[in-house]
Amino acid sequence: MKAIGLFLLNIKEYLIFSLLIVLSLILIFSNDNSQVRFFRAIAVGFIGTIQSGVSAVPNVFEVQKENQFLREKNIELSNQLSELKEAKLENIRLSKLLGLKNVNLSGVIIASIVNKSLVQARNTITLNVGESDSVKINMPVITDDGLVGRIVSTSSSYSIAQLLLNRNLNISVKVQRSRVDGILNYDGSENVIINNIPKSADVKQGDIILTSEYSNYFPAGIPVGIVSEEGNLDNLFKKVIVKPLVNFTALEEVFVLKHLPENERVILEEYYSKK
Amino acid sequence: MYFSEYLKFAIIFAVLIIVQVSFIWLIAISNYNITPDLVIVLVIYIGITRGQIPGMISGFIAGLTMDLLNGSFIGLLALSYSVAGFIAGYFSYTDSSKSSVKRSIIGIMFLCTVVAYSIFFWIYYQGVSISYGEVFMKFVLTTSIYTLVFGVLLTLFSNVIETKK
């Protein structure tokens, strides 16, 4: 017994090392469970408090420029708003005529970015809105330019959104002109690419890419990017490279869409995939 | 290690983690947003100066904290930093070997960082169309070299303090 004790004492470094490796692997493989979300929410709340304090310090050199830009944008948006009101009324009339279901879009939440984590391929942003502002996990994040990403973690006053430039985010998209579908994701280096596009599909440089109706998480029709390059990947598929419409390095304010996947659809799809 | 030492390292870790999470992107370089990793420098320092067990445990806790704050892939940095602490602790010096370890401290730091980030990016880039060779050149090597710059600064700083004593 004493010999075993001595032996274990001699290899204690290796035992602790093995224990830590096993613990890490358990954590890695149990990502996205409720316990981890709980700890993540506490951590997000803590760091968000510090970051909001830091972001409160104004950059005086930028304020004047930003003011000018916002005035111009305001005028532009006012014009767009009146056009959109007209379009909405027309849309309601046409939807009634065609008998289409309404998209579950009940509004937006305006949010400021209190931190950007543009580190390698784990690109995320921290927003100053959280559960108390009705923000929930999986809600889409957009700007007036297009899709920014998706909420992945929330605390009571802060939330974290994965950007389009995050390897963990896959989005079902379509080409606006030719309605060709595909899955868009970040390849981890410098490109956003669309996968699963057949070689014969009609995709051209300059085509606008939108979110598709097949997406569970994003409402259809949100602009995502423009096709910057297309070529053949192999004998079967095309390689389509997309330039995002949003300038992620200059992002300061975003909108969180109060849009969640339709439960009935999610349950049905999960049920069928398990069968 | 004494309680005061634990406290000292905990405070330094807290400061470095906040800097790493909130401000490090300000000094990101290249199109791939390569940033130095200040936290791993301290993990390696603890491993070399205090031994394998403090190195591993501090690496695990610091890595896990970073994972929670980054909000993605929990456990990955905990794993990488634990390995870095373990390797650094392997070169932990006694009074007789102190000078030889100190001479090769830069090499040890580089080795620990390369191994830790190889594991990190190998897991992180699973299922991506780019080859691991490309990932190694674009991310592992660049991050390790950039981190090493801060490792050298820490070594010089600790030498100056030691000389003053």
Q: Does position B72 have pLDDT exceeding 80, yes or no?
A: no
What residue in A sits closest to B56 (Cα-Cα)?
A: A17
Q: Kindly determine whether residue A28 and residue B24, on different chains, have CB atoms separated by under 8 Å.
A: no
Interface probe with B: pick from A29, A36, A42, A47, most Cβ of B within 10 Å: A47
**Mean pLDDT across A50-54:** 71
Give contacts of A 198-257 with B, CB under 8 A: none
- Are A162 and B72 within 8 A, CB to CB? yes
Residue A8 touches chain B, beta carbons under 8 Å: no
**Mean pLDDT across A246-252:** 82
- Are B13 and B58 within 8 A, CB to CB? yes
Residue A40 touches chain B, beta carbons under 8 Å: yes
In the 8-state DSSP scheme, what is residue A156?
S
Which residue of A12, A39, A115 is in closest CB contact with B68?
A39
pLDDT of residue A98: 63
Which residues from A are below 8 Å from B125, CB to CB? 121, 167, 188
Sequence ranges of the domains in chain B: 38-164
User: Tell me: the pLDDT tens digits for A153-187?
Assistant: 898 889 999 888 888 788 889 888 888 888 888 87
Distance CA B130, CA B141 (A): 16
State whether residue B105 is helix, strand or coil: helix
Which residues from B are below 8 Å from A13, CB to CB? 52-53, 56, 86, 89
User: Tell me: the pLDDT tens digits for A113-155?
Assistant: 888 876 666 688 889 899 998 899 889 998 888 899 999 889 8
Quote the tokens at residue A111: 């949010």
Contacts of residue A211, Cβ cutoff 8 Å, sequence gap at least 6? A147, A171, A172, A173, A174, A218, A219, A220, A221, A222, A224
Strand partners, A194: A184, A240
Closest by CA position to B52, among listed A92, A100, A10, A116? A10
Q: Kindly determine whether residue A20 and residue B82, on different chains, have CB atoms separated by under 8 Å.
A: yes
**Mean pLDDT across A199-205:** 85
Which residue of A12, A24, A115 is in closest CB contact with B22?
A115
What residue in B sits closest to A154 (Cα-Cα)?
A: B71
How far, rounded to the nearest angstrom, does the alpha carbon of residue A218 sit from its chain's CA centroid? 9
pLDDT of residue B130: 75
Dihedral sign from CA coordinates of B154, B156, B159, B163 = negative
User: Tell me: the pLDDT tens digits for B105-161?
Assistant: 889 999 999 999 999 888 887 766 678 888 898 889 999 999 999 888 888 877 766
**Mean pLDDT across B58-75:** 87
Distance CA A268, CA A272 (A): 6
Which residues from B are below 8 Å from A24, CB to CB? 60, 63, 75-76, 78-79, 82
Q: Kindly determine whether residue B76 and residue A162, on different chains, have CB atoms separated by under 8 Å.
A: no
Q: Does position A104 have pLDDT exceeding 50, yes or no?
A: no
pLDDT of residue B81: 95
Quote the tokens at residue B60: 């695990």
**Burial class of residue A252, CB neighbours in 10 A (0-12, 13-18, 19+):** exposed
State whether residue B139 is helix, strand or coil: helix
In this complex, how many residue pairs, one in chain A and one in chain B, have their CB atoms less than 8 Å apart?
125
**Mean pLDDT across A206-226:** 87
If pLDDT is split at 50, 70 and 90, which confidence band does A96 have? low
Phi, psi of A115 (to 5 degrees): -160, 145
Residue A102 touches chain B, beta carbons under 8 Å: no
Give me chain B's average pLDDT, please.
Answer: 85
Phi, psi of A117 (to 5 degrees): -115, 80
Q: Does position A57 have pLDDT exceeding 60, yes or no?
A: yes
Contacts of residue A21, Cβ cutoff 8 Å, sequence gap at least 6? B79, B82, B83
Distance CA A225, CA A192 (A): 9
Kindly provide the ipTM of the predicted complex, given to two decimals: 0.85
pLDDT of residue A35: 44
- Are A170 and A162 within 8 A, CB to CB? no
pLDDT of residue A39: 52
Q: Kindly determine whether residue A25 and residue B75, on different chains, have CB atoms separated by under 8 Å.
A: yes
Q: Kindly determine whether residue B82 and residue A28, on different chains, have CB atoms separated by under 8 Å.
A: no
- Are A26 and B79 within 8 A, CB to CB? no
Q: Does position A244 have pLDDT exceeding 50, yes or no?
A: yes
Interface probe with B: pick from A12, A27, A240, most Cβ of B within 10 Å: A27
What phi-psi label fits residue B51: left (phi over 0), alpha (psi between -120 and 50 degrees) or beta? left
Which residue of A51, A121, A162 is in closest CB contact with B124?
A121
Quote the tokens at residue A182: 């595909």
Which residue of A28, A153, A189 is in closest CB contact with B73?
A28
If pLDDT is split at 50, 70 and 90, which confidence band does B36 have? very high
Q: Does position B58 have pLDDT exceeding 90, yes or no?
A: yes
Q: Kindly determine whether residue B22 and residue A20, on different chains, have CB atoms separated by under 8 Å.
A: no
Give me chain A's average pLDDT, please.
Answer: 80
pLDDT of residue B63: 93
Distance CA A171, CA A85 (A): 29
Q: Does position A56 have pLDDT exceeding 70, yes or no?
A: no
Residue A33 touches chain B, beta carbons under 8 Å: no
User: Tell me: the pLDDT tens digits for A12-49?
Assistant: 889 999 999 999 888 877 776 444 455 567 777 777 77
User: Tell me: the pLDDT tens digits for B3-33?
Assistant: 788 888 899 999 999 998 888 888 888 777 8
Closest by CA position to A154, among listed A42, A56, A53, A244? A42
Range with the poorest average pLDDT among A87-96, A107-116, A179-188: A87-96
Dihedral sign from CA coordinates of A9, A11, A17, A21 = negative
What residue in B sits closest to A152 (Cα-Cα)?
A: B71
pLDDT of residue A204: 87
Q: What percent of chain B has pLDDT over 70?
A: 87
**Mean pLDDT across A97-111:** 61
Closest by CA position to B136, among listed B115, B150, B105, B151? B115
Phi, psi of A15 (to 5 degrees): -65, -45
Which residue of A12, A25, A188 is in closest CB contact with B130?
A188
